[in-house]
Structure 1
Amino acid sequence: MTDTAPERRRLAAQLVEGGALKTPEWRAAVETVPRELFLHPGVFLPEGPLWRPVTAVGSDPAEWVRTAYTLDTLTTQLDGHLTADQVSEPVPGLPTSSSTMPALVVSMLESLDVEDGHRVLEIGTGTGYSGALMCHRLGQDNVTTVEVDPEVAARADAALEAAGFSTWTVTGDGLLGHPRRAPYDRLIATCLVRRIPYTWVQQTKPGGIILATLGSWANGCGLAKVTVNEDGTAEGRIIGKASFMQARSQATTPVSGDLSARAAYADSERQTKVSPLMMDEWMPAFITQLAAPGAQLVRARTSEGGQLLYLFDPERESFAEFIDDGESWRVRQGGPATLWDDVEESLVAWQVAGSPDITSVRLHVTKHGHTYWIGGQQITTRTSSHWLSDGSALRWQHSLVDRP
Structure 2
Amino acid sequence: MTTPDSAALRRKLANDLAQGGVLKTSAWRTAVEEVPRELFLQSFFKDAPGPRGHEYTPVSADTDADEWLNLVYQNETWVTQIDGHLTADNPTGTVTGFPTSSSTMPSTVVGMSEALDVEDGMTVLEIGTGTGYSTALLCHRLGEDNVTSVEVDPDVAQRADNALEAAGYSTWTVTGDGLLGHPRRAPYDRTIATCALRRIPYTWVRQTKPGGIILATVGPSAWSYGTGLAKITVKDDGTAEGRIIGRSSFMPARAEAAVPLAGDLTARTFYADTERKTSVSPDTLKGWMPAFLAQLAAPGAQLLRATSDGRETVYLFDAGREAFAALTADGDQWTVRQGGPVAIWDAIENTLTAWHDAGEPDITSVRLAVTPEAHAYWIGGQQITNDQRSYWLGGKNAALRWKHSHSPLNV
On the 8 A contact 1:45/1:53 being kept in 2, the answer is yes
Match of 1:14 among 13, 16, 25: 16
Deviations 1:13-61 (A, max 9, x none): 0000111100000000000000000012x010013221000111222x2
- Aligned partners of 1:388, 1:336: CA distance in 2, in Å? 24
On the 8 A contact 2:355/2:399 being kept in 1, the answer is no
- Aligned partners of 2:255, 2:381: CA distance in 1, in Å? 34
On the 8 A contact 1:146/1:173 being kept in 2, the answer is yes
Match of 2:153 among 149, 153, 164: 149
Match of 1:30 among 32, 38, 55: 32
CA shift, 1:389, in A, is: 2.3
Q: For residue 68 of structure 1, what is the aligned residue in structure 2?
A: 72
| Match runs of 1:150-165 below 5 Å | 150-165=154-169
On the 8 A contact 1:367/1:402 being kept in 2, the answer is no
Q: For residue 385 of structure 1, what is the aligned residue in structure 2?
A: 389
Could you say what secondary structure the match of 1:116 adopts? Answer: coil
Q: For residue 340 of structure 1, what is the aligned residue in structure 2?
A: 345
Could you say what secondary structure the match of 2:63 adopts? Answer: coil
Q: For residue 168 of structure 1, what is the aligned residue in structure 2?
A: 172
Match of 2:372 among 344, 367, 370: 367
Deviations 1:306-354 (A, max 9, x none): 3221111112211111110012111111111111111111101100100
- Aligned partners of 1:254, 1:85: CA distance in 2, in Å? 26
On the 8 A contact 1:291/1:386 being kept in 2, the answer is no
Q: Give yes or no for the alignment of 1:133 onto 2:137.
A: yes
Deviations 1:257-310 (A, max 9, x none): 1111111111221111111111111111111111112111111232x3532211
Q: For residue 249 of structure 2, what is the aligned residue in structure 1?
A: 243
| Aligned residue-pair number | 399
Q: For residue 253 of structure 1, what is the aligned residue in structure 2?
A: 259
- Aligned partners of 1:315, 1:3: CA distance in 2, in Å? 51
Of 152-161 and 254-263, more deviation after overlay is shown by 254-263
- Aligned partners of 1:18, 1:248: CA distance in 2, in Å? 32
**Unmatched tracts of structure 1, length 5 or more:** none
When normalised by structure 2's length, the TM-score is: 0.94
- Aligned partners of 2:157, 2:112: CA distance in 1, in Å? 21
Match of 2:297 among 291, 309, 320: 291
Could you say what secondary structure the match of 1:20 adopts? Answer: coil
- Aligned partners of 1:6, 1:383: CA distance in 2, in Å? 59
- Aligned partners of 1:172, 1:204: CA distance in 2, in Å? 18
- Aligned partners of 2:216, 2:360: CA distance in 1, in Å? 24
Identity of aligned residues (%): 63
Off by >6 Å, runs of 4+ in structure 1: none
Deviations 1:372-399 (A, max 9, x none): 001248x9x9996342424453211112
| Match runs of 1:345-364 below 5 Å | 345-364=350-369
Match of 1:275 among 281, 287, 308: 281
Q: For residue 85 of structure 2, what is the aligned residue in structure 1?
A: 81
* 1:253 alignment partner AA: V
- Aligned partners of 1:135, 1:115: CA distance in 2, in Å? 13
What RMSD over aligned residues (CA atoms) do the two structures have, in Å?
1.7
- Aligned partners of 1:306, 1:52: CA distance in 2, in Å? 34
Could you say what secondary structure the match of 1:355 adopts? Answer: coil
* 2:8 alignment partner AA: P
When normalised by structure 1's length, the TM-score is: 0.95
- Aligned partners of 1:23, 1:388: CA distance in 2, in Å? 38
Q: Give yes or no for the alignment of 1:321 onto 2:334.
A: no
- Aligned partners of 1:112, 1:228: CA distance in 2, in Å? 13
